[in-house]
Homo-oligomer: A and B are copies of this chain.
Amino acid sequence: MLVERSTKTKESLKMPADTRDKILQAAFTRLSSQGYENTSIKEIAEEAGVAQGLVHYYFKSKQQLVLAVLMDVCAKLEIYGPELGEAGALAAFENFKSVLRTRRDAHNLYVELIGVGLHDREVGTGIRDDIRRHRGEVEDIARQVLAQREVDPGPARAIASVVWGAILGIIVQSLVDEDFNSDEAVDALAAMALSAVYPGTQSA
């Protein structure tokens, strides 16, 4: 929606969206590298090159600002492509491996905000909805695969819970432990997810 405003061809106009974006960018930069509580509004304003008060002009509170940043981040974590079924799943896992390397900053912020969300209603809701959305997407893929294999689609939800959980857990491990071999882990997850589709049917 912000984009619409910047698509105005007349570049001479005051473009408040630019300022808002500058602040959002600055907030993301600082928050992802320093953490939620170690980042002050003052620092964000400095990073953005604007007066401190302006941050509150665009975002009512620090919480609201963080929430806006979170929404941006969530979008950046998308790992699914256009392909469907098993091919789509494999492509997504492949993509995830590279995202794990290129989006460390976003992951950093995301994981920290999970923690923040545990004690902050609004952030918590944002995180929860994002997790639900992602899990839902994984469930769709699982359902497609199960359909391809012509077996009971029942366990799709449970499988999605595990797969998305493992994705979260792999993200955490790769952030926390510099020695963690994330490629190996993602490959194993892919194998387990795709092979386990059958047995899951019986046990769930």
Contacts and interface: CB of A to CB of B under 8 A. Distances in A.
A26 to B, nearest CB: 17
Contacts of A38: 119
Interface stretch (A17-25, A67-75, A183-191): A183-191
B185 A203 contact: no
A99 interface: no
Contacts of A155: 188
A85 interface: no
Given A118-B111, A119-B112, A195-B196, A162 B185 contact: yes
Interface string A147-189: 0000000010111011011111110110111001100110111
A193 interface: yes
Given A118-B111, A165-B166, A168-B165, A196 B191 contact: yes
A193 B195 CA distance: 10
Nearest to A156: B188
Contacts of A127: 176
Contacts of A36: 37, 115
Nearest to A202: B191
Contacts of A167: 165, 169
A113 interface: yes
A131 to B, nearest CB: 6
A34 interface: yes
A199 interface: yes
13 contacts: A34-B119, A35-B115, A36-B115, A114-B172, A131-B172, A162-B166, A162-B189, A165-B167, A165-B185, A168-B169, A168-B172, A191-B204, A196-B196
